[in-house]
Every structure is written in C-alpha cells, then in structure tokens.
Amino acid sequence: MSDEQVTPTRSELHQKRAQIQLALRGTELLRQKQQALLQELLSSAGAVLAEAEALEGAAAAARRSLALATALDGPEVVASLGLAHQQQLDVPVSSTRVMGVTVLRMRPPALMRAPNDRPHWPVHSSPRLDNVALAFEAELETLLEVANRELRLRRLAEAIRQTTRRVNALDHILIPRLRSQLRTIELSLAEREREDVYRLKRVKAHHQRHSELAAHKDS
C-alpha cells in the first residue's frame, strides 16, 4: 500500500500504530529465534567436526585391517567373503523439531556385530577377517552419524537464512512503509485540524461582527 492509498482517519491512525507495534514484536521474536538457531548451529558444527575426525580415524583403521587381511589371507579370500556378506541396509528416517525447525534423522540399526553373530565360511575364517568386518561396520556406523549431524546442520542453516530474510523484510520494508504511512496520516490529520481551527475562528469572527453590528443598531 502506498502513502497515496492511505485513508487519513483516526481509525486508520490507530490501526497503523497497532500494526507497527505488532511488526516490532514479531521482529524481536524472530531475532530471538535467530539467535537461538545460531547457537544451536555452532553447537552442531562442533559435533560435526568431532564426528568427521572420528570418521577419518575409523576409515584409516578399516583400511589398515583390510590391507593386513589381504596380505596374509589373500585378496581372493577377502573378496569372496565380502561378496558373500553383502546385504541391503534399511535405514528408517524420522523427524524431530529443534527450535521449531523440523529436522530429519536417520535411525539405522546397530551395525557392529560380535564374531559369533556374523555369518562366515569356517574354512576361510580367521580373526583378521573378523577384524576387517568389525572395522568397516564401525566406519559405516560413524558415517551414518556424520550424515545425521550434517542433515541437522544444513536444516538449521536453511532455517537461519529464512529467519534472517524475514527479519530483513520487516526491518527494511514493512516497518519503514508502515511508519511512512503513519506519518502521512498524522500530517493529513494535523492539516485537517489546522483547517478546522481556521474555519472555527472565521465563523467566530463572523458571529462576533454580526453581534457588534446588531448591538450598534440597537443603540
């Protein structure tokens, strides 16, 4: 709404003042949400960095274990066992809310198994091969946890961008426009009041002259 479309009435004046107060309260609430999201983002970023370091360690351990088993048990045995143990991994996804923001979370089953719980070929079984499987299961668990934290981090970052855009829109567009409209209404009402006062003075002066003329004729 432009200033030219504002109706300069008392009711419109009160309405604009109420709208400005509402916009200011909304801006303050959004800033509080923005600050809380930023704090949560920083906390989540630290956790992501820690998990990323853990993933690097787990990946290095898995590669070392694989290299040792390949060297001592032979690449054919390692490859055949790997192919035999392939299976589909179903990862359920749920959602949670963080500071009013919906965040997806993967909930994979426990992947690390004891040697007795892991299928193997007795002829080719060895502690080294069990260690390879265990190391890669640990790496995969850590990888999924890193993915979870990155999902959270990205959703928080997007929520912060959206909240910042809303704060900027209120600060730089809506509130200045409402204040400009309020000023236009105030100026129009003030001008109208001055005109009313001027007319009242003219009417009063006119009645006073008539009274003086009437009094002069009577005398």
The fraction of the chain above a pLDDT of 70, given in percent, is 89
Q: Delineate the domains of the chain, giving CATH numbers in brackets.
A: 3-183 (1.10.287.3240)
113-143 pLDDT, tens digit per residue, is: 766 666 655 555 678 888 888 899 899 999 9
38 pLDDT above the threshold of 90: yes
Q: DSSP characters for the chain? A: --GGG---SHHHHHHHHHHHHHHHHHHHHHHHHHHHHHHHHHHHHHHHHHHHHHHHHHHHHHHHHHHHHHHHH-HHHHHHHHHHT-------EEEEEETTEEEEEE-PPP----GGGS---TTT--HHHHHHHHHHHHHHHHHHHHHHHHHHHHHHHHHHHHHHHHHHHIIIIIHHHHHHHHHHHHHHHHHHHHHHHHHHHHHHHHHHHHHHHHHHHH-
Higher pLDDT, 83 or 147: 147
- Residue 1: per-residue pLDDT: 42
- Residue 2: per-residue pLDDT: 45
- Residue 3: per-residue pLDDT: 45
Which of 7-16, 80-89, 100-109, 208-217 shows the lowest per-residue confidence on average (mean pLDDT)? Answer: 208-217
Average pLDDT over residues 178-187: 94
- Residue 172: per-residue pLDDT: 95
